Amino acid sequence: MRRQEDPTLLRGTATFVADLTVPRMVEAVVVRSMYAHARIDAIDTMATSSLSGVVAVITAADLPEGVGPIPMRLSSSPELVQALQHPLARDRVRYVGEPIAVIVAQSRYLAEDAASTLRVDYSPLPAMASVDTAMASAPLFEGLTANHVYHRHHQKGLGSEAVAAAPRRLKMHFSIQRHTGMPLETRGLLAVPEAERLTVYGPTKVVFFNRRLLSDLLKVPLEHIHYVEVAVGGGFGIRGEFYPEDYLIPFLAQRLQTPVRWIEDRMEHFQAANHSREQHHEVEVGFDDMGHVMGLADHIWVDTGAYIRTHGVTVPELTQAMLPGPYDWAALDTELHVVLTNKTPTGTYRGPGRFEGTFVRERLMDSIAATLHLDPLVVRQRNLLQATQLPYSNGLKALGHEVELDSGNYPAALLRASNLMESETISQRKSEALHTGHLRGLGFAFVVEKSGLGPYEDARLVLQDDGTVACFTGLADLGQGTGTMLATVVSKELGVDRDRIHVIYGDTDRVAEGFGTFASRGTVVGGSAAYLASAELKRRIVAVLSDVIGNGAKMVMHPSGIKVSGRTRTVSYREVLHRAETQKVPLDVTQRFTATAMTYPYGVHACEVDVSPETGAVHIVRYGVVYDVGKAINLDMVRDQIMGGVAQGIGGAVLEQLVYDETGQLQTGTFMDYLIPGMCEVPDIEVVVTEDAPAPSNPMGVKGAGEGGAVGVAPALANAIADAISAPPEAFTTLPIRPQDILRWIRLGLEHRPRGDEAE
């Protein structure tokens, strides 16, 4: 089944924010700090304001009194409130790229030229470009006693004691680098004032949240703000949150009473859009001689950047809660430390928190196997939860929910992945690779994801007199195929052709409310609401036509009308609607699905690589993913989501890194320095979608598929590389893995390998 969204995208007729122009439109440029940490002594706007074509120049002093910082959406911890970000820096800048002024001009070119004339007097302050420096420095904010802004200790049983009592122990340090999503289309907004209303084009992901927040910040009634989502060139978690620009551009449009457009350039994206991932783990694991894990203790240190943004500390909390994965840990002890630094603030990126935790856990499993000289698959098999143990609580919480793995057959998934990659003949393939001068390795990584975050979603279905069905949803579409998914659900339940389902989303004038698209919740929550609404609409149609249909007859919705099996008559839709009106049975149905628990899709990544012993270059020979989504609405879309995730995971595993120097200056702010995977780096990906474990918490049994493709790549690749070069347990614990890292471990192995006479 082809996606309904693709024709306009492929033909180049889709409308993005940068495609929109309206009469009297002016353009904005954001002036950003060049310092990571400095006092703002003065901003002189006079010369800039007097330039021809400049419409307005605003700084924090020009914003209305009482405009507060941007609040959190997914966290509410009071200790974090002191570190929230205001739309414009007031007396101090805390990262390179922080907005300090906005210039509006008749064109983008004039605004860019004008920006170079703005005079800002700074007094530089010492920059904190690492967690260690921040821990030893004065707090970034008044009201805080330290830059160590958040601490949470969670445990199941007596984790540290269990580790200490174990026959064998491993201490390891893991580092996951700072990187982030790089959508093809950067962020952008167009705000158009219309009498008492303000229409904002471009917000995505959480349209209704952003609208409510803008209403609060602008201090205007909610109904005076109209949000419209347009086509989106990639989301990945980074797009759609409420950034400073999401207030500044509508504010300027309202103040100037003229349309204002802002399009982020790529350098701004590098400096100002949410970064993600940067974590350091100090891990100790206890296990026995058979590889059975007995306890795990992990101190997690997170560089969250200069401010707490709308996600709060959701990402590291997910790392902490999802760290145990699919294994039966008797005891866990995890401590989370979140630290402010003078870097760009962080937020979510595809598989937030799980990318990091999965790398730690799955690399740890291979390290245990290497210590004991066991097959890594055997170690995993001995520790996996069995199907009879599910549902299973790991004793930890994420996003207000206890992590209770709902359904699954983890051993079956591991066996499928092993068979897919023909692991029993890897020794032969290793020997063959040696003849070509390469070192061959095979690595696996088990993934447990979370999806279906609540609280609820509504779906409204309306039968039209031409037999089409309008489906209204509060979800957004950032490329996942939301429209296709909902049309498929409604089509199957109603028995109407999918092309006759018209999905309406992303317009606050046409949809009453919604929570949006994030956390792999669209199909689980929004799809379930559409399923319930379809069932109710069908029930009402059958009731209206009870004298025609009779008992047990099958109804089919053809373009010409409703046909009943065994009957020659076709009932027109006009007649159906007339009957419904007469019988006072509305064929306008709204149903709500409330998510009382999250669902937990799972799977196995498997990677086979060739490593060059001369250069350290890695070639992915084969990549496979076995993934269980409970029930697939559209198999092709599930596979595509997983393949796209793998591509991004490869970037995070071996290429992408946001590097800062000791003064807090970003060193990788262009695609010349920040490497992303292209066609040559992404192999063909074999995806096996299974439906072994339908979710018990929703009527269709579905689980999300948006993020599992990304989170397993780094450990699968690392494990494959380690296998290829016979690396010791402590190898490859830092991302990204560079060729020079591989060469270092190869040389260390050669240095410690016994010579011929010593081996005898």
DSSP letter string, 636-694:
HHHHHHHHHHHHHHHIIIII----B-TTS-BS--STTTS----TTT---EEEEEE-SS-
Which tens digits make up the pLDDT trace of 601-623?
999 999 999 999 999 999 999 99
Q: How far apart are CA 155 and CA 483, in angstroms?
A: 42
Spatial neighbors of 594 by CB under 8 A, at least 6 apart, are: 454, 455, 456
Amino acid at 465: D
| Average pLDDT rounded to a whole number, residues 456-484 | 94
Q: What's the number of CA atoms in the CB half-sphere (13 Å) around residue 184?
A: 9
| Average pLDDT rounded to a whole number, residues 174-183 | 97
Q: What integer best gives the mean pLDDT of the chain?
A: 94
Indicate the pLDDT class of residue 196, thresholds 50, 70 and 90: confident
Which tens digits make up the pLDDT trace of 625-661?
999 999 999 999 999 999 999 999 999 999 999 999 9
Which tens digits make up the pLDDT trace of 350-386?
999 999 999 999 999 999 999 999 999 999 999 999 9
Give the per-residue pLDDT at 453.
87
Which tens digits make up the pLDDT trace of 389-417?
999 999 898 777 889 999 999 999 999 99
Cα→Cα distances 679→304, 569, 650, 676, 682, Å: 32, 56, 12, 10, 6
Kindly tell me if the per-residue pLDDT of 755 is higher than 60. Answer: no
Give the per-residue pLDDT at 756.
44
Tell me the pairing of strands 401-405 and 332-340.
Answer: unpaired
Give the per-residue pLDDT at 483.
95
Q: Work out the widest C-alpha separation in the chain, in whole angstroms.
A: 98
Tell me the pairing of strands 618-628 and 685-690.
Answer: parallel
For 548-640, strand residue ranges (E) read: 555-558, 561-564, 570-571, 588-594, 602-611, 618-628
Kindly tell me if the per-residue pLDDT of 759 is higher than 50. Answer: no
Kindly tell me if the per-residue pLDDT of 566 is higher than 80. Answer: no
Which tens digits make up the pLDDT trace of 34-92?
999 999 999 999 999 999 999 999 999 999 998 999 999 987 788 899 999 999 999 99
Give the per-residue pLDDT at 557.
85
Give the per-residue pLDDT at 757.
41
Which tens digits make up the pLDDT trace of 704-719?
999 999 999 999 999 9
Give the per-residue pLDDT at 81.
93
Q: How far apart are CA 346 and CA 736, in angstroms?
A: 18
Which tens digits make up the pLDDT trace of 110-138?
999 999 999 999 999 999 999 999 999 99
Spatial neighbors of 475 by CB under 8 A, at least 6 apart, are: 457, 482, 486, 505, 514, 516, 517, 522, 526
Of the given ranges (22-26, 297-301, 563-567), which has the lowest mean pLDDT? 563-567
Give the per-residue pLDDT at 760.
34
The share of the chain scoring above pLDDT 70, in percent, equals: 98
Tell me the pairing of strands 555-558 and 561-564.
Answer: antiparallel
Give the per-residue pLDDT at 754.
52
Indicate the pLDDT class of residue 752, thresholds 50, 70 and 90: low
Kindly tell me if the per-residue pLDDT of 758 is higher than 80. Answer: no
Q: How far apart are CA 636 and CA 236, in angstroms?
A: 19
Indicate the pLDDT class of residue 332, thresholds 50, 70 and 90: very high
Give the per-residue pLDDT at 193.
97
Which tens digits make up the pLDDT trace of 481-506?
999 999 999 999 998 999 999 999 99
Indicate the pLDDT class of residue 687, thresholds 50, 70 and 90: very high
| Average pLDDT rounded to a whole number, residues 529-551 | 89
Kindly tell me if the per-residue pLDDT of 583 is higher than 50. Answer: yes
Cα→Cα distances 376→26, 292, 294, 543, 687, Å: 60, 12, 17, 59, 22
134 near 338, Cβ under 8 Å?
no
Q: Is the pTM of this model over 0.85?
A: yes
Residue that the structure tokens 């790549």 belong to: 713
3-state secondary structure of 570: strand
Indicate the pLDDT class of residue 547, thresholds 50, 70 and 90: confident
Question: How crowded is residue 336: how many other Cβ atoms within 10 Å of its Cβ?
Answer: 21
The share of the chain scoring above pLDDT 90, in percent, equals: 88
Residue that the structure tokens 């999806």 belong to: 451
Question: How crowded is residue 627: how many other Cβ atoms within 10 Å of its Cβ?
Answer: 29
Domains of the chain and any CATH numbers:
6-126+181-272 (3.90.1170.50), 279-451+598-751 (3.30.365.10), 456-507+514-594 (3.30.365.10)
